[in-house]
Structure 1
């Protein structure tokens, strides 16, 4: 298989997904810190926050897909 410099839909989708993951992670972290008076989270708290990030990312999946598709099609 040859190397391609073309921007594929998978590349575009992955970029959008990682951007959303970063935004959602920041939001979940800030919410947690506010709710817990800026205490340092335990390992259990971190696992719970990671699960919340994954849940919210799944909730945003369709939006991420549509944005990636639009961006990819505009580049065609």
Structure 2
């Protein structure tokens, strides 16, 4: 019997939810630091803070626009992961 190989994981999203001031941002920054320590270039990471007051009121398609622009600036991140 042959074993199946684990599929490559790219464009993996980490979404963290929780109560206000429960350490979500700190946890994400730790994850970003761990990724950089493991050799993932900073340019391949995308962090978006929905609570930034400058974005309010946020149009429905804001996240789509932001991700599309990120992919425009780094096209390989769309297929190789960001």
The structure richer in helix per residue is 1
TM over 0.5: no
